[in-house]
Structure 1
Amino acid sequence: MTVYANVGAPPGGAPAVEPSVPRPLRYAALGDSLTAGVGDRVEGGWRGWAALLAEALTPDGATARAPTGGAAPHAEPPAPFRNFATSGALTRDVRTQQTPAALAFGPDIASVVVGVNDTLRRAFDIAAIARALDEVCAALTARGTVLLIACLPDPGVMLGLPAPLARPLARRQRAVNTLVHALSARYGAVHLHAADPAWVADRSLWSPDRLHPGERGHRMIAARFHAMLTARGLTLGPPPPQEPERPPPTRTEALLWLATAGTGWMVRRSTDLLPELLWLAGGEMRHWARGTATRLDLRAEHALSRALTALPPAHPLARMGE
Structure 2
Amino acid sequence: MTSTLTEATDPWCLRPGEAGELLREHPWRRFVVLGDSVAEGLCEPVDGYPDVQWADRIAAELRAVRPDLAYLNLGRRGLRAHEVRATQLADALAFGPDLALVVCGGNNVLRPGYDPDAVDAELAAMVTALHDAGADVMTVGMFDVSHSPAVPDMLRAGLGERMRRLSRHTRAVAERLGTLHVHLTDHPLVADPSLYSGDGRHGNARSDAIATAETLRVLAAHLTSLRSAQDGPRREPDPAG
**TM-based fold match above 0.5:** yes
Question: Does the residue aligned with 1:227 lie in a helix, a strand or coil?
Answer: helix
Counterpart amino acid of residue 57 in structure 1: L
Corresponding residue to 2:192 among 175, 179, 202: 202
> Could you tell me which residue of structure 1 aligns to residue 30 of structure 2?
26
> Could you tell me which residue of structure 2 aligns to residue 103 of structure 1?
93
Cα deviation, 1:139-168, whole Å, max 9, x if unaligned, reads 111122111111123343334432x53333
User: Number of aligned pairs?
Assistant: 195
Question: Does the residue aligned with 2:33 lie in a helix, a strand or coil?
Answer: strand
Inter-CA distance 142–171: structure 2 relative to 1 (3 Å threshold): same
Inter-CA distance 167–230: structure 2 relative to 1 (3 Å threshold): same
- CA distance in 2: counterparts of 1:160 and 1:200, whole angstroms: 14
> Could you tell me which residue of structure 2 aligns to residue 289 of structure 1?
none
Question: Does the residue aligned with 1:199 lie in a helix, a strand or coil?
Answer: coil
RMSD: 2.5
> Could you tell me which residue of structure 1 aligns to residue 239 of structure 2?
none
- CA distance in 1: counterparts of 2:58 and 2:79, whole angstroms: 21
Corresponding residue to 2:61 among 56, 67, 78: 56
- CA distance in 2: counterparts of 1:37 and 1:149, whole angstroms: 16
Counterpart amino acid of residue 60 in structure 2: E
Runs of 4+ in 1 over 6 A off after TM superposition: none
Inter-CA distance 97–140: structure 2 relative to 1 (3 Å threshold): same
User: Does 2:206 match 1:216?
Assistant: yes
Contact 2:28 2:98 in 1 (8 A): no
Contact 2:58 2:216 in 1 (8 A): yes
- Percent identical residues: 30
Is the radius of gyration larger for structure 1 or structure 2? Answer: 1
Task: Provide structure 2 residue ranges, at least 5 long, that are not aligned to the other structure.
Answer: 1-24, 46-50, 225-241
User: Does 2:215 match 1:225?
Assistant: yes
Inter-CA distance 156–207: structure 2 relative to 1 (3 Å threshold): closer
> Could you tell me which residue of structure 2 aligns to residue 112 of structure 1?
102
Contact 2:34 2:75 in 1 (8 A): yes
Bigger shift: residues 50-59 or 103-112: 50-59
Cα deviation, 1:111-142, whole Å, max 9, x if unaligned, reads 11121210123542222212111111111111
User: Does 2:172 match 1:182?
Assistant: yes
Question: Structure 1 length as normaliser, TM-score?
Answer: 0.55
User: Does 2:77 match 1:87?
Assistant: yes
Instruction: Report deviation, 1:190.
Output: 1.5
Inter-CA distance 168–213: structure 2 relative to 1 (3 Å threshold): closer
Counterpart amino acid of residue 32 in structure 1: D
Contact 2:147 2:193 in 1 (8 A): no
Instruction: Report deviation, 1:214.
Output: 1.7
Task: Provide structure 1 residue ranges, at least 5 long, that are not aligned to the other structure.
Answer: 1-20, 63-75, 235-322
Corresponding residue to 2:126 among 108, 133, 136: 136
Question: Does the residue aligned with 2:169 lie in a helix, a strand or coil?
Answer: helix
Question: Structure 2 length as normaliser, TM-score?
Answer: 0.72
Instruction: Report deviation, 1:85.
Output: 0.5
